[in-house]
């Protein structure tokens, strides 16, 4: 058994069954990507799945799929046998041929648990993050169903990857934008900074290590804490360090803005 398979085979089997059952007749591909196969799952890592269909989903199918996924996912660190699932569904003709910004058909994640439990299911929406996601999937993924991602999707042009990075960073402007999610935002900024400088995509911990080599000492403790907590070797106390987190976020945004790759044309 390969390293990425350890501990997630059963959950992946259930997820694939739910997807195949609900998307019968329209399912084209299921790709596993992210830390499960790129750097290894960490204590709080999600299992990332990209699902491709050939037509938009009717509302009853959308709801049934979300309820099924809800039953086989768990919030990070809360369940000994289940990890958080993050499942993104796209209609292939919405991204092939490629155009920006792309349309996302559906997304499931643990941050949606409460709305889903109240019957709130989001419809299709424009999602600039798909430029980053598809770049990651084409770079490194395993096709559980269908053809390899490199054969199924067009490459995302560098200028569109740059726009997606810039649009993502533009979401984080004040404390309320990252409150309660400090670790993830700090690590996301580290990855975006790395991508803005290199044009490549890497894991959260590798990006944080890269940033730490370039970061003034005053900002380093925040990134170090986020990285150690993500790796499971340190305590996440960033929620109580508001000023430090804010200072790093503003500094990282400024540095990202200096890289021409991260500026929209």
Tokens standing for residue 56: 């938009």
Count Cβ atoms below 10 Å from residue 159 Cβ, excluding itself. 14
Could you tell me which residues are beta bridge partners of residue 86? 48
Q: Yes or no: say if 33 and 94 are a contact pair by the CB < 8 Å rule.
A: no
Q: Yes or no: say if 54 and 28 are a contact pair by the CB < 8 Å rule.
A: yes
186 contact partners, CB below 8 Å, separation of at least 6: 208, 222, 223, 226, 238, 245, 248, 249
Q: Return the active site residues.
A: 86
Sequence-ordered strand ranges (E) for the chain: 27-33, 47-53, 85-91, 103-104, 106-108, 125-126, 141-145
């Amino acid at each position: 058994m390969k390293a990425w398979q350890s501990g997630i085979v059963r959950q992946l089997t259930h997820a694939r069954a739910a997807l195949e059952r609900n998307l019968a007749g329209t399912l084209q591909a299921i790709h596993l990507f992210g830390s499960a196969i790129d750097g290894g799952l960490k204590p709080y890592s999600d299992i990332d799945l990209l699902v491709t269909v050939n037509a938009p989903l009717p509302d009853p199918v959308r709801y049934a799929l979300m309820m099924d996924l809800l039953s086989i996912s768990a919030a990070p660190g809360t369940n000994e046998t289940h990890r958080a699932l993050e499942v993104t569904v796209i209609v292939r003709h919405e991204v092939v041929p490629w155009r920006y910004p792309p349309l996302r058909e559906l997304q499931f994640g643990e941050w949606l648990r409460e709305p889903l439990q109240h019957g709130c299911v989001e419809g299709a929406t424009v999602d600039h993050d798909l430029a980053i996601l598809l770049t990651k999937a084409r770079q490194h993924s395993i096709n559980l169903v269908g053809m390899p991602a490199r054969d199924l999707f067009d490459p995302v042009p560098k200028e569109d990857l740059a726009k997606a990075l810039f649009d993502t960073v533009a979401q984080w402007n004040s404390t309320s934008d990252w409150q309660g999610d400090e670790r993830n935002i700090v690590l996301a900024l580290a990855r975006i900074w790395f991508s803005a400088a290199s044009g490549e995509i890497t894991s959260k911990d590798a990006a944080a290590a890269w940033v730490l080599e370039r970061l003034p000492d005053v900002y380093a403790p925040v990134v170090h804490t986020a990285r150690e907590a993500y790796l499971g070797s340190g305590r996440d106390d960033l929620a109580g360090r508001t000023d430090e987190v804010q200072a790093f976020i503003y500094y990282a945004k400024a540095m990202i803005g200096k890289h021409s790759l991260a500026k929209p044309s």
